[in-house]
Amino acid sequence: MWSRGIVGTVACIVGAVWVAQGTGALKGSVMSGEEQWTVIGAAGIVIGVVLLVWAWRIRRARSREGA
């Protein structure tokens, strides 16, 4: 459960950086201004959110079992 949350958080952060670089909002990389990195970053954010929701649902289900 914790690993899903950690990986999900990292995926969201990395995805956000890639989106920023792909759109040109974050300069200083060979990825800056390249549209493909915007798409890849958005996919990373979606994967990260899915992992976070999955981890949250597992935690919620386990807390209900113990109650």
Structural domain spans, the chain: 2-66
> What DSSP state is assigned to residue 59?
H
pLDDT of residue 67: 59
**pTM metric for this prediction:** 0.85
pLDDT of residue 2: 84
Total length of the chain: 67
Q: Please list the ranges in the chain whose pLDDT falls under 70.
A: 1, 66-67
b/e map 44-54, b = 16+ CB within 10 Å? bbeebeebbee
pLDDT of residue 10: 98
